[in-house]
Homo-oligomer: A and B are copies of this chain.
């Protein structure tokens, strides 16, 4: 099957072909690039909502409820769950996401779990490529769930149109550090499990930090929503907040600024990734890398000199 035919089938909604492509994207098969090029003209319509936060805050439950609400509106929904910490998912659905699976018989919902990782990095490239496939499939909304608060997640948040940061009351001491870091990337702050003690205090604290922090460059004033997702409480307010931010993002000038920012991240990710592949190829894959390491261990060359030497040989 030619790349063009792959693309046509995916655009026509062939779930099997799309699944196969996504698996090969996640496995970093080189041939996928040609299909992605063909799909490119069909992309740019899906609205991506990022859902991030520490483990245990109830992100999956929120995603589950949001799927339901977006479906009720008639939206086609895609879900990408990124779980860099788990080597066991491999594209399958994790045990704790079983709840979400009740949507798997609904043809309007497409859920993928990504576990890509490895010392060579690569999380982000798979992610953005898989979002593009969902987009080409005609998904109106793609929910992008990430665990963690590292650089990967910051990048992921940067390619989502709307970023929700989910927190719960009572996580203790160093949550302050997180708050400081996510102030600039959160469009909506969700205080989930808001029946817990400390929800009001948490809301006041976030408000205070938002007031103390520098005003956001784009002028958006982040919203704070309290939810108890498991009981469906606060979800109406959450949807209103998402809609409000979407209206904001879809103003023509904003749309362009966002596109510039997210494409820049995507392009750099692709460049870094492509180069890593070529360095490994140049060195003779893992074996060559091992030989370079041996030179360093034996004391023949130090780490810094050796890395410069390789760069000089790979680059023009």
Contact = CB atoms under 8 A, between A and B. Distances in A.
Interface in A276-298: 276, 278-279, 289-290, 292-294, 296-297
Q: Which size class do A's interface residues fall under? A: 35 or more
A203 interface: no
A26 B96 CA distance: 39
A259 B56 CA distance: 35
A308 interface: yes
A17 interface: no
Interface string A158-196: 100000000000011111111011101000000000000
Given A151-B121, A259-B297, A315-B275, A177 B96 contact: yes
Interface string A235-264: 000000000000000000000100110011
A303 interface: yes
Among A123, A154, A305, max chain B CB count under 10 A is at: A154
A307 interface: yes
Interface stretch (A67-75, A133-141, A142-150, A217-225): A142-150
Given A147-B178, A149-B85, A266-B303, A172 B279 contact: no
A151 to B, nearest CB: 5
Given A271-B310, A302-B37, A316-B315, A297 B266 contact: no
B267 A171 contact: no
A59 interface: yes
Interface of A: 33, 36-37, 40-41, 54-61, 83-88, 94-96, 117, 119-121, 123, 147-155, 158, 171-178, 180-182, 184, 256, 259-260, 263-268, 270-272, 274-276, 278-279, 289-290, 292-294, 296-297, 302-308, 310-311, 313-316
